[in-house]
Structure 1
């Protein structure tokens, strides 16, 4: 695993996470329906039909709800590209072992992934192909910061989540997500980029008028490849609590060393490892 930064709180789980700030007024409704009950009542969210084709933890969206999902993805991509300067990409959804080793999902988290018979893996997040754009390259300093975004399906086995969030769309084997990835030169730029990236993700929630809070994750709740992570948690009236909707992480040169991704500070200088970040946007 990576080494947490000094300002990351020590702790074993989410109870040691520290709230940084909140936005919006959480609405506490009288007996609110959750998204699954609403979607099924409207006839636009069908888990039963999806289960017939694919098994549990899949969903079939149709009609206006499918159109809304498409519209939300376009809105998020337009916001991140036109207003925040990210370059939109359409990457492969199948990657080789080395790509997942580079971003840190392999070898430790192989049980959380889907592998094909042709020795490719379905991506668990667009972080994998977007970060591997700089794999085995030496980048000129003028190229940095590099900022990429993509809207892709994500595939996860959810091997360690038996019995959790079995109802609805919170924990599916296949879901769509807009991802943000940044490549910078060093730790100082990386920490500034983490604040910028998290603000870019928060902008989506503000435009949608969704109350949220930003949490600084403790050492025991961070991903293995991160040095510092912010979670954005959105308020769910049906559960009367905040739930994680986005994570933004600074990884230092952890992924760059595994991918051999370097940059040249100036002409003729010795190449140095880049620093990488990733986050949901959203």
Structure 2
């Protein structure tokens, strides 16, 4: 395969990663590698990674399955939940279809209801999220939840997770976080080096790139090249700078970014599950792995 060096072509590759990843996942399954599906940044990916599993973000990117979802779920639930459930119920999400386990979380009452129904046709493990990150009781609850997830993963896949394997997974995932954060921080440049649409293509597309080492190397090279070009004067025109927060952006929700940038602004930051929340903090690599 020839090396792609043109930045727009690289961005397009990341944009297409969700579709091209379907074939990769099929190959992983044929090789006997387990797949764990997730909907939330809170899920500690290092635990299934330490068991030799691949973690993938599940589909909730369009409204095409909402009508089917509303046959089971209340119509007044948010579109994100109904889309997620609908893609699973109809098997229109290959990632969901191939997932051996779905790990959910109690981020809202709607999601809890979704996981109740989803468990009728897919193995589901739901993590109980604490309401605080500061008090001892909340920290104890989250540690217990991670241990409970580890037990589920070990029993499901017949693979005992060693502390060394968990530390290796933490180190690898931290390297990925730092590579993504360094790319994401290009949005701090003023005038911008990249449009928000291009930043989103890479950050969202990276969730469907399953070779972590290759992803890290590609992100590092791309970040260095974009920064060099910016220093050489290749910059976008100055415009109002917009930060997007809230629910994940991807698929149909990308219209928000397009609307901003087609009307005189630049999206320079994503303070949501697609961007900063998933990359800004690394897991401690020393001490108790479950206190990290």
**TM-score (structure 2 length as normaliser):** 0.27
Structure with greater proportional strand content: 1
**TM-score (structure 1 length as normaliser):** 0.28
Greater length-normalized contact order (CA 8 Å, ≥ 6 residues apart): 1
Structure with greater proportional helix content: 2
